[in-house]
Amino acid sequence: MNQGLIPTAEAVYKLIQELNKLPGIGPKSAQRLAYHLLRIPEEQAKLLADAILSAKQKTKLCSICFNVADSDPCLICRSDQRDRSKLCIVEQPQDIVALENTKTYNGLYHVLHGAISPTEGVGADDIRIKELMNRLQGSSVDEVILATNPNLEGETTAMYLNKLISPLGIRITRLARGLPFGTELEYADDVTLTRAIEGRQEF
């Protein structure tokens, strides 16, 4: 409870607290967002609230690639225009958005929903690696592109996947080093991502 300790209304205080839980939103940003939301017309606030609820209620994970979608299979997995011999492995659904924006990749995807991170207590069994291996068994995939983030967790995950996939005889490539180490795919610009895809290397 606020109980007068914070010089604002209880409802506003709660809004700030909830906004502060969002990734990348610190206390100051949460406060700015809260007061911005107070200033916008009520109809606009309702549209935002409805959009959040709709996204939560109407989306699901594709049972094939585990991307966020409103249908199962998702549009990419059921498209007959995609190159089914290539499978790009990413950590999060937003990485697919970033790669699709480059318009240079036309294969399929697999979303891990995380990366191996012993310090965070995330192991191989905590992400969608088992589903990936089941998917690759007997598939027509002849190239796997490891598009995990260029940081310690991403590299650890890529090394682990390389060890698992190599015995299957599938070509394994990694995005080129146009991506600076320590960054995340969703924040990379289209030109950098395009060069990384086109210049991918054997793992």
pLDDT tens-digit readout, 79-94: 999 999 999 999 999 9
Beta bridge partners of 83: 107
Q: What is the mean pLDDT of residues 48-66?
A: 95
* Rg of the chain taking only CA atoms, in angstroms: 20
Q: How many independent structural domains does the chain possess?
A: 2
pLDDT category of residue 178 using cuts at 50, 70 and 90: low
Q: Are residues 111 and 177 in the same domain?
A: yes
Q: Are residues 38 and 78 in the same domain?
A: no
Q: Are residues 70 and 53 in the same domain?
A: no
pLDDT category of residue 39 using cuts at 50, 70 and 90: very high
pLDDT category of residue 128 using cuts at 50, 70 and 90: very high
Q: Are residues 133 and 194 in the same domain?
A: yes
Q: Are residues 121 and 46 in the same domain?
A: no
DSSP strand E in 98-146: where? 107-111, 143-146
Q: Is residue 1 part of a domain?
A: no
pTM beyond 0.75:
yes
Q: Is residue 191 part of a domain?
A: yes
pLDDT category of residue 188 using cuts at 50, 70 and 90: confident
Range of 128's domain? 61-202
Q: Are residues 78 and 110 in the same domain?
A: yes
pLDDT above 90: percentage of residues in the chain: 78
Domain holding 17: CATH number?
Answer: 1.10.8.420
DSSP strand E in 29-116: where? 60-61, 68-69, 83-90, 107-111
Q: Are residues 41 and 91 in the same domain?
A: no
pLDDT category of residue 1 using cuts at 50, 70 and 90: very low
Q: Please give the torsion angle defined by the CA atoms of residues 33, 35, 36 and 39, in that order, rounded to the nearest 10 degrees.
A: 160
